[in-house]
Amino acid sequence: MRLPLVIMPTAEEGLLRNARFWETNYSLDEAERWYTTFSRAIEAIPDHPLQHPVARANDAFPFELRALHFGISSFPTHRALFTIRPDVIVVLAIRGAAEQDATVEEL
């Protein structure tokens, strides 16, 4: 059974922040391509949520934290952090590959 997906405001803000970075440093077209492609990848998480690895920050959380690694090329530049609850999958944050791990306080 495919669980519903909820994207928390912090994750949506992370998507928008990173899209603005792409627009500023590359182009509006690249930013739109990045945002659309990453959004589609996030929306597909419920298809196979367990295929994504446990996040490197997992041990700091009282629940399992998984990561969708994403990049337009073959090199992942970002990750969507999510958790699987019994009745829903919740995307908690978007992080750049070089950004520090999320903390419990942030999520």
pLDDT for 73 equals 81
What CATH number has the domain bearing residue 31?
A: 3.30.2310.20
Domain count for the chain: 1
Domain that holds residue 20: 5-96
Residue 19 lies in a domain: yes
Q: Across residues 73-93, what is the average pLDDT?
A: 94
> Does residue 74 lie in a domain region?
yes
Whether residue 56 is contained in a domain is answered as yes
- Range scoring the smallest mean pLDDT among 52-61, 80-89, 96-105: 96-105
CB 90 within 8 A of CB 11: no
| 102 part of a folded domain | no
Per-residue confidence at 74, pLDDT binned at 50, 70, 90?
confident
In a domain, 101, yes or no: no
Rounded-to-integer distance, Cα 101 and Cα 93, Å: 10
Give the 3-state secondary structure of residue 70: strand
Mean pLDDT for the stretch of residues 81-98: 94
**In percent, how much of the chain has pLDDT > 90?**
79
pLDDT in tens, 11-22: 999 999 999 999
